[in-house]
Structure 1
Amino acid sequence: MQESQYIYKYAQKINEWLKDNSHVNFTFKAAHSNFYLKEEISNFETDISLITDENIINNGLNNVPLSRDRLVLVTNQKLRSFQLSDLEKSTLLVTEKGCSYREQMEKLLYKNNINPMQILEFIGIESLKLYIKNFGGIALLPEFTISKELISENLFILPFEYEFPDLKTNILYNTNTKKSSIDSFINYVFNL
């Protein structure tokens, strides 16, 4: 699962479940290749994965839609207007390569032949948010990751006409698993 999903959506429920299931070992890892994730799940090397921005169909694997999240362009100043061409004189803040919302931003830039003045890449969303709040720039982020900053007016959604596609997240797991804790985990954490 992506770091942002763990931090902002599922940490509390996962930690509650782990307290009641102390026999379970857990490894959180980010992976940006859906092909390798499908292989790992098919081979029982990975039990569950949250795939973002992909609809995956694979025999033997269960693919359950989990959420749809809005992507928004944000900055640390309230602006009255913002045009696509304004990105050329802006500092763009992005997460690591392979991140689904970074890919959406890259598609927009490529399609419109836009080259931002500067691009700063961050390994995590928290460091990116700290930078944008303190020093400025523009970032494309899932709205759920910045809801508190929007309320406190530390960040603002840019008035931008372009609508990014919703960020879709699906749970992917192997239905042939022998681990009884998989269903328990999925039912408790994701309410399925």
Structure 2
Amino acid sequence: MEIRLLVTFEKVATVLSFTQAAAELKYAQSSVTSQIRALESSLGAQLFDRLGSRIRLTEAGERLLPYARQIIELSEEARAAVVGTEEPSGTLTIGTMESLTSYRLSPLLELFHHRYPGVRLSMRPTLGDETRQALRQGTYDVGFLMERETEHTGLEVTLLTEEPLALVAAPGHPLAGAAVPTVSTADLVHEPLLATEPGCAYRDLFEEELNTESAEPVPFMEFGTIEATKRAAAAGLGIALLPAVTVAEELADGRLVALPWEQPFTLSTQLAWRSGKRLPAHARLFVEQARKLVAEQG
């Protein structure tokens, strides 16, 4: 089996799209199709089911995928060892989330773009369970998590920082006045509440905490992004619990205020990868620089 064919197979299996794989590999789509057919012919097995405009891995494809990834990793290690280049290179597929990509990681991405142009970063926005599953399956090389738990089955984890949260509202909100020195969870149950989608750890923990004070599940007005949630809160539509780093600018200029609520849980921002996975040099560099960046941010 040619490494080139395995690289193409791994990319198609990861994105489940011949078109997207061709774009990311900078091939014509016909080249990707012919390479997959050549690999299937050499193995004597069909690797993908074609379902109209969609594709999925067959059982044979599922069995081949972890071996393909191991072979590609070893090939990259061997090339680096033989060439002996000091310049890190390779592709790194990273599971991340809006709160980190937009508000913490910009300096890290800029660093790799300018100082390590040979490292190609592919950012994949996912949350919690989806990120962990992708790491275990090898779809992602590394992934950022923001969770209460710091141990995850099948993963190695490095803790980056405890992630403070802020309960925010518009300045004129009744619970934001000086006459309200503290806000209890019970005070929040009947207030309009704003949130990002379910699956986000701080949203889920907040909802769980509120439901301990309510006979019925507490409803949320859901928004697709942190930016949309912040704008809704600033417009006076309700209260939102968000990572403090995402609302620092709005708190500083007075568009939002922090409510005096003592959160009963803590979250840690973490960087994880599959247990037993030998991180190549460019992945180790990314982990090292992520640790350094977050430590400098405080």
Give the TM-score of the pair, scaled to structure 1. 0.84
> What is aligned with 1:170?
270
> What is aligned with 2:134?
40
Which deviates further from its counterpart, 142-151 or 114-123? 114-123
Distance 1:93 1:158 in 2: 14
> What is aligned with 1:73?
167
Q: Is the 8 A contact 1:51 1:169 kept in 2?
A: yes
Tell me the CA shift for residue 31 of structure 1.
Answer: 2.5
* 1:5 maps to 2:100: yes
Map 1:24-173 onto structure 2 (within 5 A): 24-34=119-129, 36-53=130-147, 54-58=149-153, 61-77=155-171, 78-80=176-178, 81=180, 82-113=183-214, 119-160=220-261, 162-173=262-273
Tell me the CA shift for residue 75 of structure 1.
Answer: 0.5
Distance 1:114 1:17, change over 3 A: farther
Q: Kindly, what percent of the aligned residue pairs are identical? A: 24
State the one-letter code of the partner of 2:271. I
State the one-letter code of the partner of 1:37. T
Which structure's residues are more often helix, by fraction?
Answer: 2
Q: How big is each residue's C-alpha offset from its partner over 1:149-192, in whole Å with a ceiling of 9 and x where there is no partner?
A: 222221111123x4231211211024533632101112123228
Distance 1:178 1:111 in 2: 42
Q: Is the 8 A contact 2:160 2:270 kept in 1?
A: yes
- Partner SS for 1:123: coil
Q: Is the 8 A contact 1:66 1:170 kept in 2?
A: yes
Distance 1:178 1:189 in 2: 15
Distance 2:258 2:278 in 1: 43
Distance 2:242 2:196 in 1: 9
1:18 to 113, 116, 126: 113
Of structures 1 and 2, the larger Rg is shown by 2
- Partner SS for 1:19: helix
- Please, which runs of 5 or more residues in structure 2 have no aligned partner? 1-95, 294-298
Tell me the CA shift for residue 100 of structure 1.
Answer: 0.8
Distance 1:115 1:156 in 2: 28
State the one-letter code of the partner of 2:224. I
Over aligned residue pairs, what C-alpha RMSD do you find?
2.5
Paired residues, what number? 189
Distance 1:116 1:41 in 2: 32
Q: How big is each residue's C-alpha offset from its partner over 1:25-44, in whole Å with a ceiling of 9 and x where there is no partner?
A: 3332233343x534432443
Distance 1:119 1:39 in 2: 27
Q: Is the 8 A contact 2:185 2:209 kept in 1?
A: no
Give the TM-score of the pair, scaled to structure 2. 0.57
Q: How big is each residue's C-alpha offset from its partner over 1:36-57, in whole Å with a ceiling of 9 and x where there is no partner?
A: 5344324432111112113224
